[in-house]
Structure 1
């Protein structure tokens, strides 16, 4: 999500999302982003999963699972093609777990974003209805040379595999990082190595080119 301001230009979410969180406007922004993502994904030439970040403020609203269901029905996106990403701090809200279970019952996947930077409790993690964890880019930047990053990456990937969770590494920018993560058994990567962020209307042509390249 970007804010195209007539005077400020393209404003990054790092600047306006914290203010939206503070004012409560993030609820409307979150639903807007979810609907836009689902509408775009329906038109993609390949049935990939689309992941959407969810605010902690959304996960304390009892009507949120119903809102997710309505957006899926209205846009026509299969629930299995949607993944909602939540932060570890979100899980500190007791009401969140119940709502997550309702969302999971729809067939929607759930992922813990920026894993390792919040308030992880391994005892709590095994009880959560999540499908994947995302290794934060903080622990990816130094791969494969930094000893601390390699130790943490190896541990998180091993933890995910033990719990039968998919592990996605964030912030992958170099081929050697991707190759090292593959050797560790990481399931997927995201980052500038794959693509930089792009406007929604550019995704479909990009996917078509990528699909054609893979078919060759």
Structure 2
């Protein structure tokens, strides 16, 4: 609340990413605070899904907008049967819960094809955009904003 007030940032422009393991250790008060922030428009994302020890019943208590599939599962698709099954299951879970699903660690065309085929909402990884310096990032953002205004 204080950060939003101090920065004048619209709440809908802020997304909090919470790792699965931190989320599962959180108290009821933390969940209540997340619900209050979500009611103001802040988005909540569970990151590294599948790497912790969460139960699905605990996961459904969180006011989430999106789930991120950990890169360790994406790395094995489409050839790793188990990784492919886990990634597909998380995408299906997200769809069923009505939340956005993001695949992390997409580094090859075949991985991108797999997550697209599974109807994953978003993808992140070096295959899409390699790491860039701050200056390169600024140029890229400027270029994108210039193209959008044309």
TM-score normalised by the chain length of structure 2: 0.86
* 1:116 is aligned to 2:116: no
Larger relative contact order (C-alpha < 8 A, sep ≥ 6)? 2
* 1:83 is aligned to 2:8: no
How far the C-alpha of 1:84 sits from its partner, in A, is 0.6
> Structure 1 segments of 4 or more deviating over 4 A?
210-216
Partner in structure 2 of residue 205 of structure 1 = 139
How far the C-alpha of 1:102 sits from its partner, in A, is 2.1
Cα distance in 1 for partners of 2:147, 2:78 equals 28
Partner in structure 2 of residue 195 of structure 1 = 129
* 1:130 is aligned to 2:64: yes
TM-score normalised by the chain length of structure 1: 0.62
5+ residue gaps, structure 1, are: 1-68
How far the C-alpha of 1:201 sits from its partner, in A, is 4.5
How far the C-alpha of 1:144 sits from its partner, in A, is 1.4
Where does 1:1-216 land on structure 2 (aligned, <5 Å)? Answer: 69-91=1-23, 92-94=25-27, 95-210=29-144
How far the C-alpha of 1:185 sits from its partner, in A, is 0.7
How far the C-alpha of 1:93 sits from its partner, in A, is 2.2
SS in 2 for 1:103: helix
How far the C-alpha of 1:196 sits from its partner, in A, is 3.1
Cα distance in 1 for partners of 2:102, 2:2 equals 28
- Quick check: 1:90–1:96 contact (8 Å CA) kept in 2? no
5+ residue gaps, structure 2, are: none
